[in-house]
Amino acid sequence: MKAVSLFSGAGGMDLGFINAGCKILAAYDNMQPMVDTYNKNIGGASRLDLSTCDFSTIAEKLGFGDSLDLLIGGPPCQGFTSAGTRFWDDPRNSLVRNYADALRHLCPRWFVMENVEGILTTAKGVYLYEAVKRMVELGYSVFIRKIYMQEYGVPQRRKRVIIVGNREGKPYHFPLPTTPASGQIYRDSAVTLRNAIEDLQDVEDVELDQVPQWETGIKLKRMEMLKPGQTMKDLPEALQHESFKRRAHRRVMDGTPSAKRGGAPSGLKRLVYDEPCLTITSAAPSEFVHPVRNRTLTVRECARIQTFPDDYKFHGTKRERILQIGNAVPPRFACILAESILKSDQEEPSLEPGLVYYDLSKASARSSSLARTERMLEQLKNTQLQLDI
């Protein structure tokens, strides 16, 4: 398959699709360190402001016509929206608007859009609803699922929303888990942190960004006290960070105690070797304590947990490199996802274009926010069925 990548970042999704046999013809991101990383490891990326670019011009320049197989990548969910007809005019929604414009002008047979779990309920579901509605209007059948990455060989408890679209009426089947997880927040899994990084615990290698930052003073005392699975709240009060104690007792503007809104921030966290890691974010190297060493994770350990190969080089400052890693789609999962699309592409068309299929949670119970989003998607699905009739 020939593909174009948007919001390509460090290239995690693209690397997985390449490993599955796809060819990336062009890639775009608006952050120079990410473009530098992409070009050092994959090549073919250009810096582009995806909130303001003109995709009709880009489509003409690339010259695909209607022959593009695949568009991959996903606009970051900005958390802003306006209701009703103003949604697409609101400049704060420019990223999702331009993603829809890319679909209209590049006209790929398939697309893959990845996003954080929060897109399911952002702006009371309006953000996802409007995006999917536009995809349907462009003639795509849309398939939505919340994915638990530890079920696909990724050693971390990472939840993401994957949206796949096809404009030829071909049915799509999300890949079955390769390592099913169960238990409290799906900790029980054959994919563990130990398998991912144990061989790196005593390695120091500048070329792999594998230089542990050994701690001293009160931070070392905190780490020494933390047992696997414990966080700052498990420490004696004298060792808790002042900012943590302030936040732990704050009340939000509506007067609800923070303890009833998911609890206080946990600060330092001692990881557990024989479970999947917590979700790797840009804060991981400052907050995640190694399971058996009194230090935080290194950039290379974070990359391992995200399933990047050790010879993958990240460019920019340490902060920029960990941002690239934390934002990436794990290449191991991306490869499995790509293989599922390649398999579905071999099937004969059997669906009416423009339908919506979704699976937003493994849990039987639904929060009121998620239930509202499902009702909106069901309404959209029913509307399209009535139009087909």
Active-site residue set:
77
User: Quick one: CA dihedral 374, 378, 384, 387, positive or negative?
Assistant: negative
Rounded to whole angstroms, the Cα distance separating 252 from 244 reads 15
Tell me the β-bridge partners of 146.
161
Cβ neighbour number for residue 347 with a 10 Å cutoff: 15
CB 44 within 8 A of CB 24: yes
CB 325 within 8 A of CB 308: yes
Query: Which amino acid is residue 268, in one-letter code?
Result: L
Tokens of 31: 């952050």
Question: What value does the CA radius of gyration of the chain take, rounded to a whole number of Å?
Answer: 22
Rounded to whole angstroms, the Cα distance separating 220 from 225 reads 9
CB 351 within 8 A of CB 306: no
CB 307 within 8 A of CB 331: yes
Q: Which of 287, 267, 270 is nearest to 225 (CA)?
A: 270
Rounded to whole angstroms, the Cα distance separating 153 from 330 reads 10
CB 27 within 8 A of CB 45: yes
Tell me the β-bridge partners of 161.
115, 146
Rounded to whole angstroms, the Cα distance separating 21 from 44 reads 17
List C-alpha distances in Å: 335 to 5, 15, 329: 15, 8, 10
Phi, psi of 77 (to 5 degrees): -75, 115
- In a 3-state reduction of DSSP, which class is residue 92? helix
Tell me the β-bridge partners of 113.
163
CB 326 within 8 A of CB 284: yes
